[in-house]
Homo-oligomer: A and B are copies of this chain.
Amino acid sequence: MAKVLVPVADGSEEIETTCITDTLTRCGCQVTVASVMPGKLQVKMSRGINVVADCAIEDCKGTEWDAIALPGGMPGAEHLRDCAALTELLKDQSGKGKVTAAVCASPAVVFGTHGLLPEKSTCYPKFKDVVGAGWQDAQAVMDGHIITSQGPGTSIQFALKIGEKLCGKDKAVEVAKGMLVDYVV
């Protein structure tokens, strides 16, 4: 059972967050939602819904994660960027060639800041200059072990792409059907 870490913060995008956690749980992954907000597990998402994380990000060291997947949303992505414990986890994960993934603001704001972007990637179009010449206009982009996506409307496809990488294409296609979407990327 693949282990997936989903860090969240005040201001994380809730559609993006649940598309990741829900879709990957349906794929059979064990999903852990971790708060990067110092001293609190409950976060207020970008459009107001309150989520309680399973643990604090500091508790996530020492576990082998099959994927770390970041929702976007502002200022959520900035909180993710500024979290030292998460930055260490991401650098370690990416250095080992294991899956890192980010959507919306986070490819630019988190991966861009910490030198974790691959050659080809995507993000919310407003941030494309931060990503630079490798920016692709696609719902989801996989370059090696790094998967990126654009926003709320692309987040199910994004999560299915992570699901395919971890659990195989047949599983991703099956889960997509149950959610009444076509898996297209």
Which A residues fall within an 8 A CB radius of B? 13-15, 17-19, 21-23, 25-26, 31, 33, 42, 45-54, 124-125, 150-154, 156, 176, 179-181
On chain B, the residues within 8 Å of A42 by CB distance are: 52
**Is there an interface contact between A18 and B21, defined as CB atoms closer than 8 Å?**
no
**Lowest 10 CB-CB distances: which A-B pairs, in order?**
A153-B181, A153-B180, A25-B47, A151-B180, A50-B52, A14-B18, A22-B47, A152-B179, A18-B18, A153-B179
25 contacts between A and B (CB under 8 A): A13-B22, A14-B18, A15-B18, A15-B179, A17-B49, A18-B45, A18-B49, A22-B45, A22-B49, A25-B47, A25-B48, A31-B47, A33-B49, A33-B50, A49-B51, A50-B53, A51-B52, A150-B180, A151-B180, A152-B156, A152-B180, A152-B181, A153-B156, A153-B176, A153-B181
Known: A14-B18, A17-B18, A51-B51; 13 extra A-B contacts, CB below 8 A, are: A15-B15, A15-B22, A15-B156, A18-B18, A22-B45, A25-B48, A31-B47, A33-B50, A49-B51, A50-B54, A124-B180, A125-B180, A151-B179
Q: Which listed residue, B15, B21, B48, B179, touches A49 by the CB 8 Å rule?
A: B21
Known: A152-B179, A153-B180, A156-B153. A48 touches B19 (CB 8 A): no
On chain B, the residues within 8 Å of A150 by CB distance are: 180
Identify the interface centre among A52, A151, A153, A180: most chain B CB within 10 Å of its CB.
Answer: A180
Q: Is the interface of A mostly helix, strand, loop or mixed?
A: mixed
What is the bound-complex CA distance between A22 and B47, given in angstroms?
Answer: 5
**Is there an interface contact between B50 and A152, defined as CB atoms closer than 8 Å?**
no
A12 CB to nearest chain B CB (Å): 11
